[in-house]
Amino acid sequence: MMSFLRTTLLFWRTYLPRICLARRTLLVALGCALVPLLAFVLLKFIPHGPSPIEAFLYPSFFIVLSVLVPLAAVISGSAVISEEVDDRTITYLLTRPISRASILVGRWLASATVLVVLLAGSVGALKVVVESQAPGWKKAEPRVVETTNRRGEKRTRTIDREIPAEFLQAMPDGELPDGLFGTMLAATLAGAAVYSALFAALGTFNRHPMIVGLGYAFAVEGFLANLPGTSQQLTVQFYLRSMLVSENPELWKLVAEAQLAEPDTTRAALFALTIILAASLALGSLVISRRQYVLSA
């Protein structure tokens, strides 16, 4: 056991700086930077755009949790083993006196560390942007616009946007409601860890984990997670969303009413996510311990 931990730590320490400098990490970092940038643009330059709380909730739910977390996890998680196989460097690792599972766990830990830092930075920056723009934000007055059609007839149109009272009253002092940021951050980081473990395990037995992972994250989960009924419980998304709505449920339900089945409690969701993570790593460890990797010269 000590030997396993020592080797896992060695893999983590060796691969962490290498993953930081990898091209796929730059790609994930760019994706993470886009979220707070989008919120800033919406709040600063779109007069009839979202309120500050909406600028936090909508990107959090529909971009960070539904797209960015699984996508970033596919990009970094699927590379954990398949990169070594594709580069044909796995031979050097598989012919060493170490537990093969430590290759998977150590490399996954390094990938997950980078992923968690980038996603936490993204959600943190989103909070900063929203809270910095909130004090000066005011709902724009309705604007009447006069237009002329092809026949020269003049028409007037009113540009306005109904914003629910809950949203308008959600940030009276310019700060996000209590618990909102914390649960969003926790759900994001849990999602990063679970999804990346899932895709890392996939890479131990599939030659194209990126393609299969994308298919799973956006086709299978995308379908099941938005299907009304208990089938949502088969997805990682369901448990992440359950974590979110445990705090400020009235706000989240306004954002994603159609997407939410009856959520689990936070404790149940965390338990389910822990099981999925542990099962993924156990399955991946079992596969890498027994499988032979046939490489071309």
Partner 1 sequence: MSALVVADKLGCWYGQVVGLSELTLAIEGGITGLVGPNGAGKSTFLKLVAGELRPARGEIRVLGHAPFANREYFRRVGFCPQQEAIWGDMTGLEVVEFLMRLHGYAPPEARRRANAALDRVGLGDARTRRTAGYSKGMRQRTKIAQAIAHDPELVVADEPLNGLDPVGRAEIQKLFAELGAAGMHVLVSSHVLHEVEALTPSIVLFHRGRLLAQGSVGEIRRLLSRHPRRVELVARDARRLASALMALEPVSSVRIAPDGRVAVETGDVERFFRELTALAPRERAGIRSIESHDANLEAVFDYLVG
For position 21 contacting partner 1 by CB under 8 A, the verdict is yes
The site that binds partner 1 (CB under 8 A) totals a number of residues, namely 27
2 in contact with partner 1 (CB under 8 A) = no
Site pattern 82..101 for partner 1 (x: CB under 8 A): -----xxx-xxxxxxxxxx-
Q: Which is nearer to partner 1, 88 or 143 (CB)?
A: 88
Distance, in Å, from the CA atom of 27 to the CA atom of 282, rounded to the nearest integer, reads 29
Number of Cβ atoms within 10 Å of the Cβ of 158: 8
C-alpha span between 213 and 197 (Å, rounded):
11
Phi-psi region of 179 (alpha: psi -120 to 50; beta: other; left: phi over 0): left
When asked if residue 10 is in the footprint of partner 1 (CB under 8 A), the reply is: yes
Backbone φ, ψ for residue 97 (5° rounding): -80, 65
Look up residue 208 and give its amino acid.
H
String marking each residue 233-272 x if it binds partner 1 according to CB under 8 A: ----------------------------------------
Over its C-alpha atoms, the chain yields an Rg (Å, rounded) of 23
Site string for partner 1, 100-129 (x = CB under 8 A): x-----------------------------
**Residue among 274, 283, 242, 272 nearest 259 (CA):** 242
Q: For the chain, first and last CA: distance in Å?
A: 34
Identity of the residue, 138 or 290, whose beta carbon is nearer to partner 1 in the bound complex: 290
Ramachandran quadrant class, 133 (left: phi over 0; alpha: psi -120 to 50; beta: rest): alpha
Region near partner 1 per CB under 8 A, out of 6-14, 142-150, 153-161, 167-175: 6-14
- Site residues for partner 1, 266-295, by CB under 8 A, read 289-290, 292-295
| Contact set with partner 1 (CB under 8 A) | 3, 7, 10, 14, 18, 21, 87-89, 91-100, 289-290, 292-297
